[in-house]
Amino acid sequence: MRYQPALSVSRLNDFKQCPLKFRYRVIDRIPEPPSSAATKGTLVHSVLEHLFDLPAQDRTVHQATNLLEPQWAALVERDPEVQKLFEEESFSEWLDSARNLVRTYFNRENPTMLNPSRSNRERMITVELDSGIRFRGVIDRVDVAPSGDLRVVDYKTGKMPGPMYQNEALFQMRAYGLLLKYDQDKEPLQSQIIYLGSDSTLTYWTDANDSTQVEENIVGIWNQILDCLDQGQFPPRTSKLCDWCNFKDICPAFGGQEPPMSEEGVAKLRRVALT
């Protein structure tokens, strides 16, 4: 099947954070070097995904931490570049910190009591919203209760944000709820973000107005993206996150020179909307 461009939950967040960063990632597709923090996140997610391949009684801390090395080997096979991260940093220290995050997971949940099917782990959903926008997201885990009620679970290897920033984090979960509503005509009853970096969980109970509000929000952001496309300008928006941005060298807010925008990328992005 031909790959269809879609707006993803993560890229929406990029646009909200900084339109220029969105442009470099989505339109120009400028390659970014792997980072040890992001690679650790990928590894821990992989372990938690595969933990549920084991029979329930075998989902112990010991078995989970034993998955780290084979999952690391699989990650290297997919992207050998990640090994270069450890020319300067100690691999064993890095792996120990990933092991601690996996151990912390067991403070948050008892995986022997959960039974997510294969298709409900790292589940990619793409839908066509009524507004004509193709929208996509990858959900870490969807739990189905015996009553049929759904719960969406997302793992983060960082720390829980302070109360002022939690709405932003929950937007992602509400957007996953919208995807489930379109995909299986059912919204989750509850969403949880498990922050392994701070051994804490943020829980959200779906509100009856969520899907309408989230879709309005997505349409609003899409209209802002269209304005940027029409003006040929995605402005930089500085914040404390600029310190971790891979595009600082080509960001005019930091004295850099913007490269020309990819015409192919622009045409592809416009195909996200069907109308």
| Binding interface with ligand SF4 (CB under 6 A) | 18, 20-21, 236-238, 241-242, 245, 247-248, 251, 253-254
Nearer to ligand SF4 (CB atom), residue 134 or residue 248: 248
Nearer to ligand SF4 (CB atom), residue 21 or residue 136: 21
Q: How far is the CB of 228 from ligand SF4 (least distance, A)?
A: 13
The whole-angstrom separation of Cα 33 and Cα 39 is 11
Q: Residue 261 is which amino acid?
A: M
Nearer to ligand SF4 (CB atom), residue 253 or residue 261: 253
Nearer to ligand SF4 (CB atom), residue 227 or residue 249: 249
Nearer to ligand SF4 (CB atom), residue 72 or residue 247: 247
The whole-angstrom separation of Cα 81 and Cα 33 is 8
Q: How far is the CB of 260 from ligand SF4 (least distance, A)?
A: 16
Q: How far is the CB of 239 from ligand SF4 (least distance, A)?
A: 7
Q: How far is the CB of 101 from ligand SF4 (least distance, A)?
A: 26
Q: How far is the CB of 272 from ligand SF4 (least distance, A)?
A: 21
Q: How far is the CB of 82 from ligand SF4 (least distance, A)?
A: 23
The whole-angstrom separation of Cα 213 and Cα 217 is 6
The whole-angstrom separation of Cα 229 and Cα 212 is 26
172, 9 contact by CB (below 8 A): yes
Angle at 43 between CA 39 and CA 46, to 5 degrees: 140
Residue 19, number of CB atoms within 10 A of its CB:
19
17, 237 contact by CB (below 8 A): yes
Residue 64 three-state SS: helix
Q: What residues form DSSP beta bridges with 156?
A: 195
The whole-angstrom separation of Cα 89 and Cα 94 is 8
Nearer to ligand SF4 (CB atom), residue 11 or residue 123: 11
